[in-house]
């Protein structure tokens, strides 16, 4: 519905005696109350509670910033930020980078598009734990992958892909790519295909059509997809525990938060870790969205439909 | 430049469906040719085949002695104007126009000079730096035209370029397109479903129906001597009368009878025996002393002439455009000069007016 038709229907409704209006007040606004209650109850309140709690450290005479001082002085804690970023950023860049050409090639509806989309959605629906368990069998030193490569003579000794960085990175790739692909597909199919046809008649090769027409118009979609894929990857927990080295290379920030909450029973310190986690995500998302300011952000069709 | 564009039995099928069947057409440099027909008649398919956006299923396209149907669109170099304009939304008017020159690796100085002259040709100098979203429909259409012609293409293809504009702007842009066509000496192929537009603009009109070319010729030729009932109905409003031939019909002057009344008529082609249909324009009806008796049903006064709805005494209703002063209820006799009363074989299905 366009804004004009909404305006028109609003106008025509208020012209008649409208039962949703009482004494000039539009009661339809009340319909957002349940939604607001849910958001406040399940998101805003816990967030504020955690925020305040992070400045109220446990123990006698503790300074209000004591939790944050502890976080940034203990390598076991502050190193989790770097380790999580080291996992989440390359994986996100790879996911989004791979999603764009796939989405571009599959932008016109076809049987292949539907088949591939279905195949790609499956890992999303399975959930991270099942994917992690599958990968444990597949990537193990005596798993299918290593055995096949050894049998084929491509390897002398099995690759170590479990309980380290690579296992977690692979699982994030498998669960994150479908999401990035589906998002990019919807952005790509939203771009008017006659634009590329017009570019072709003006002499642009398929590569130039992509570079000059599709890519600039995809930037807003790229940034949003990047942010959402990144936030998902940054919150990695199950695969970091199951496939990674939760005491070493893949000791991600969510593991630190879990330890604080359920091993040290230090709720306020766990809140602090969560706040640092949120702040880090916010910085990255802020940078990416800030970069978007430099690109075109208007409609992606070439005139009247 | 080129001398002649030649389409040799070009065909395009989608599965079992033939969108364009074996079309033959040759176009001379400098011509303005319209492809006219209702939606689904194959006119846009023909245009897309010419531009290279749709590969041919069969046939060949030759530009003088160069075969071009095997080339991809970016190597044919025809300018194309799309129905929805297809302006690049992230580029200013100027950059849209410059795009084709950049793709052709024209030098920067030449690019600026040619973009400026294209902008002034479509009278958009003040709007050069605006994005398409900030321009009105008519201005967007001008940018689309400038973008297509700045590359100095041998052929400009226009796919219903005016159908998204309102009526007043449509008339203005018609003149604008003709002015540009004549100023630059372009060769233009123009697809439209609007017969007024085709009549007003074209050197030559090609009427199409269900993928098959029906007739081609000068606007006057198609308007006055449509070769079959489909073309006749598409080229303006026609009154229709069921008639039968009183002698074996063949091309030329013949006598037909409409419910007992004899009429002199013209057949443009040899036609077989059987039921016929006579078609004539409201302008060709004259009130006379003899002819078919009729009663005036209604009169719409239109200044120079009036549109009169008449009930024929033999049954049926016709429209006439006459300058005679008549009033509803008047009894008159109507006749149509034999050269304007055209007869065609009567189609088996009931006739649907476009």
> At A2, is the pLDDT very low, low, confident or very high (cuts 50, 70, 90)?
very low
- Residue A197 with chain B: CB contacts under 8 Å: 53, 73, 80, 82, 86
CATH number of B4-229: 3.40.50.300
Say which range, A212-226, B247-261, B282-296, has the weakest mean pLDDT. B247-261
**ipTM for the complex?**
0.82
Q: Is the pLDDT of residue A16 over 60?
A: no
Residue numbers of A between 144 and 183 with CB closer than 8 Å to B: none
> At A3, is the pLDDT very low, low, confident or very high (cuts 50, 70, 90)?
very low
**Size of chain B, expressed as the number of residues it contains:** 354
pLDDT at B253: 85
Q: Is the pLDDT of residue B152 over 80?
A: yes
Q: Encoding tokens for residue B53?
A: 């956006």
Distance, in Å, from the CA atom of A177 to the CA atom of A97, rounded to the nearest integer, reads: 10
Could you give the angle at which helices B137-149 and B108-121 cross, rounded to 10 degrees? 140
Residues facing B113 on adjacent strands: none
pLDDT tens for residues A263-289? 999 999 999 999 999 999 999 999 999
Distance, in Å, from the CA atom of B61 to the CA atom of B80, rounded to the nearest integer, reads: 17
With a pLDDT cut of 90, the percent of chain B lying above it is 68
Q: Is A276 exposed, middle or buried (0-12, 13-18, 19+ CB in 10 A)?
A: buried
pLDDT at B328: 92
Distance, in Å, from the CA atom of B162 to the CA atom of B178, rounded to the nearest integer, reads: 13
Distance, in Å, from the CA atom of A240 to the CA atom of A249, rounded to the nearest integer, reads: 9
H/E run at residue B339: none
B4-229 and B237-345 have identical folds: no
pLDDT at B324: 85
Helices (H), B225-349: 229-234
Cβ-Cβ contacts under 8 Å for A154 (sequence gap 6 or more): none
Q: Which chain A residue lies closest to B73 (C-alpha atoms)?
A: A201
pLDDT at A10: 47
Please say whether the beta carbons of B57 and B12 come within 8 A.
yes
Under DSSP, the state recorded for A157 is S
Hunting for tokens 């599959």 — which residue is that?
A106
What are the percentages of helix, strand and coil residues in chain A, rounded to 5?
A: 70, 0, 25
Q: Encoding tokens for residue A251?
A: 């000791």
pLDDT at A12: 47
What is the pairing mode between strands B188-192 and B306-312? unpaired
Distance, in Å, from the CA atom of B179 to the CA atom of A97, rounded to the nearest integer, reads: 48
Are A197 and B147 within 8 A, CB to CB?
A: no
pLDDT at A18: 60
Kindly provide the b/e burial profile for residues A68-85, where b requires at least 16 CB atoms within 10 angstroms of the residue's own CB.
Answer: bebbeeeeebeebbebbb
**Domains defined for chain A, CATH in brackets:** 74-116+163-292 (1.10.3720.10)
Q: Cα-flanking dihedrals φ and ψ of residue A236, to 5°?
A: -55, 135
pLDDT tens for residues B154-187? 999 999 999 888 888 888 889 989 999 999 999 9
Residues facing B80 on adjacent strands: B157
Q: Does A207 touch chain B (CB under 8 A)?
A: no
Distance, first Cα to last Cα, chain A: 14
Mean pLDDT of B214-240: 92
Q: Is the pLDDT of residue B36 over 60?
A: yes
Say which range, A132-146, B7-21, B93-107, B202-216, has the weakest mean pLDDT. A132-146
> Which of A36-40, B272-276, B346-350 has the largest mean confidence?
A36-40
Q: Encoding tokens for residue A91?
A: 């994986």
pLDDT at A7: 47
pLDDT at A112: 79
Q: Is the pLDDT of residue A5 over 70?
A: no
- Residue A205 with chain B: CB contacts under 8 Å: 74
Q: Does A217 touch chain B (CB under 8 A)?
A: yes
Average pLDDT score, chain A: 87
Q: What is the rounded radius of gyration, in angstroms, for the C-alpha atoms of chain B? A: 24
pLDDT at B26: 94
- Residue A221 with chain B: CB contacts under 8 Å: none
Under DSSP, the state recorded for B246 is S
Question: What global pTM score does this model have?
Answer: 0.79
Q: Does A198 touch chain B (CB under 8 A)?
A: yes
> At A6, is the pLDDT very low, low, confident or very high (cuts 50, 70, 90)?
very low
Please say whether the beta carbons of B207 and B231 come within 8 A.
yes
Distance, in Å, from the CA atom of B214 to the CA atom of B235, rounded to the nearest integer, reads: 12
Q: Is the pLDDT of residue B121 over 50?
A: yes
Mean pLDDT of B87-102: 95
Which of B52, B80, B86 is facing A192, going by the closest CB pair? B86
What DSSP string runs through B280-303? E-GGG-EEESSSEEEEEEEEEE-S
Please say whether the beta carbons of B153 and B118 come within 8 A.
no
With a pLDDT cut of 70, the percent of chain B lying above it is 99
pLDDT tens for residues A227-258? 999 999 999 998 899 899 988 889 999 999 99
What are the boundaries of each domain within chain B? 4-229, 237-345
Q: Look at residue B354 and give its three-state secondary structure.
A: coil
Q: Encoding tokens for residue A69?
A: 């001082």
Are A303 and B52 within 8 A, CB to CB?
A: no
Question: B224: distance to nearest CA of chain A, Å?
Answer: 36
Distance, in Å, from the CA atom of B270 to the CA atom of A286, rounded to the nearest integer, reads: 78
Residues facing B42 on adjacent strands: none
H/E run at residue A223: helix A215-234
Q: Encoding tokens for residue B166?
A: 């309102």
The closest of A104, A43, A68, A103 to A277, measured between CA atoms, is A68
Would you tell me how many other CB atoms lie within 10 Å of the CB of residue A189?
14
With a pLDDT cut of 70, the percent of chain A lying above it is 91
Q: Chain B residues with CB-CB distance to A under 8 A?
A: 51-53, 72-80, 82, 84-90, 99-100, 103-104, 131-133, 137, 140, 144, 147-148, 151, 157, 164
* Residue A24 or A126, more confident: A126
Say which range, B22-36, B141-155, B236-250, has the weakest mean pLDDT. B236-250
- Match domain B237-345 to its CATH number in 2.40.50.140, 3.90.180.10, 3.40.50.11540, 3.30.390.50: 2.40.50.140
Please say whether the beta carbons of A254 and A239 come within 8 A.
no
């Amino acid at each position: 519905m366009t804004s004009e038709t909404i305006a028109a229907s609003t106008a025509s409704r208020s012209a008649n005696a409208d039962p949703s209006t009482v004494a000039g007040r539009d009661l339809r606004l009340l319909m957002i109350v349940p939604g607001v209650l849910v958001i406040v109850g399940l998101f805003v309140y816990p967030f504020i509670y955690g925020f305040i709690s992070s400045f109220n450290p446990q123990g006698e005479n503790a300074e209000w910033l004591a939790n944050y001082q502890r976080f940034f002085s203990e390598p076991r804690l502050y190193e989790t930020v770097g380790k999580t970023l080291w996992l989440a950023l390359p994986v996100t860049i790879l996911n989004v980078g791979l999603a764009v050409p796939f989405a571009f090639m599959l932008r016109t509806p076809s049987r292949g598009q539907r088949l591939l989309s279905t195949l790609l959605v499956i890992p999303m629906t399975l959930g991270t734990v099942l994917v992690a368990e599958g990968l444990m069998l597949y990537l193990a030193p005596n798993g299918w992958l290593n055995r096949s490569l050894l049998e084929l003579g491509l390897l002398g000794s099995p690759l170590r892909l479990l309980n380290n960085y690579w296992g977690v990175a692979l699982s994030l790739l498998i669960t994150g790519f479908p999401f990035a692909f589906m998002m990019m597909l919807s952005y790509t199919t939203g771009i008017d295909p006659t634009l590329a046809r017009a570019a072709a008649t003006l002499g642009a090769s398929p590569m130039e059509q992509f570079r000059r027409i599709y890519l600039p118009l995809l930037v807003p979609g790229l940034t949003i997809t990047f942010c959402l894929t990144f936030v998902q990857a940054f919150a990695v927990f199950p695969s970091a525990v199951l496939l990674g080295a939760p005491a070493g290379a893949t000791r991600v920030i969510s593991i630190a938060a879990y330890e604080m909450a359920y091993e040290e029973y230090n709720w306020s310190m766990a809140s602090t870790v969560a706040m640092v986690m949120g702040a880090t995500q916010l910085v990255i998302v802020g940078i990416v969205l800030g970069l978007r300011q430099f690109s075109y952000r208007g409609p992606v069709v070439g005139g009247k439909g | 430049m080129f001398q002649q564009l030649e389409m040799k039995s070009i065909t395009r099928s989608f599965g079992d469906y033939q969108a364009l069947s074996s079309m033959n057409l040759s176009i001379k440099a400098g011509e303005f040719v319209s492809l006219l027909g209702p939606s689904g008649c194959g006119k846009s398919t023909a245009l897309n085949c010419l531009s290279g956006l749709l590969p041919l299923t069969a046939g060949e396209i030759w530009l003088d002695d160069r075969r071009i149907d095997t080339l991809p669109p970016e190597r044919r170099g025809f300018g194309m104007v799309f129905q929805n304009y297809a302006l690049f939304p992230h580029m200013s008017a100027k950059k849209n126009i410059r795009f084709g020159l950049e793709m052709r690796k024209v030098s920067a100085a030449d690019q600026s000079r040619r973009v400026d002259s294209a902008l002034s040709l479509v009278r958009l100098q003040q709007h050069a730096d605006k994005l398409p979203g900030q321009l009105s429909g008519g201005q967007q259409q001008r940018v689309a035209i400038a973008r297509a012609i700045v590359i100095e293409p041998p052929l400009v293809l226009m796919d219903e370029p005016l159908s998204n504009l309102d009526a007043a702007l449509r008339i203005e842009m018609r003149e604008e397109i003709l002015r540009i066509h004549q100023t630059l000496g372009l060769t233009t192929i123009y697809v439209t479903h609007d017969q007024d537009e085709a009549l007003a603009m074209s050197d030559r009109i090609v009427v199409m129906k269900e993928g098959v070319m029906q007739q081609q010729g000068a606007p006057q030729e198609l308007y006055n001597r449509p070769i079959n009932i489909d073309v006749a109905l598409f080229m303006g409003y026609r009154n229709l009368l069921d008639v039968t031939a009183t002698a074996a019909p063949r091309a030329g002057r013949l006598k037909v009878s409409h419910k007992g009344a004899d009429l002199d008529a013209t057949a443009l082609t040899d036609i077989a025996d059987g039921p016929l249909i006579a078609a004539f324009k409201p302008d060709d009806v004259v009130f006379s002393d003899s002819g078919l008796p009729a009663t005036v049903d209604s009169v719409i006064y239109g200044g120079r002439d009036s549109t009169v709805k008449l009930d024929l005494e033999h049954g049926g209703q016709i429209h006439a455009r006459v300058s005679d002063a008549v009033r509803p209820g008047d009894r008159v006799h109507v006749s149509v000069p034999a050269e304007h009363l055209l007869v065609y074989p009567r189609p088996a299905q009931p006739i649907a007016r476009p």
